[in-house]
Amino acid sequence: MSTTLPAPLDDPTYTPQHPPVDGQVPAVVAKWGPRSQIRWFRRFGRELAPRRDWSQYHVHSEHHLGTCCDSCFDEYLDGTGVQLDGWCCCRDQRIAP
């Protein structure tokens, strides 16, 4: 039987080396891979100051930069939309234009 440890950012007892600084994302986060960025935003999202441009980060999905769009979140909450089909949202790079 194999036991896997959670990623450090998923472990609530872990003290991260790169928390938000004055409500902002530390520059090092942009250098990380998509999954690590998503874990970082999941852990610290509520501690961040409002921001208009998230386009350099994988905030919600490893399939596109930035946030998922509001209409896709709304559709998901209504029980419809692309997120229920295994896609992230309409910004997902796997969806052909």
Residue 34's pLDDT is: 94
Which has more confidence, 4 or 53? 53
Residues 6+ apart with CB under 8 A from 66: 54, 55, 57, 59, 91
Q: How far is CA 29 from CA 6, 24, 58, 84, in A?
A: 19, 11, 10, 29
pLDDT bracket for residue 41 (50, 70, 90): very high
Residue 72's pLDDT is: 86
- Give 66's strand partners: 58
Domain positions in the chain? 20-85
Q: Which amino acid is at 87?
A: W
Report pLDDT digits (tens) over 49-81. 988 789 999 998 888 999 888 888 888 889 888
Q: Determine the average pLDDT of the residues in 12-22.
A: 88
Taking the model in full, what pTM does it have?
0.78
CA separation for the pair 94, 92 (Å, rounded):
5
Sequence length of the chain is 97
pLDDT bracket for residue 47 (50, 70, 90): very high
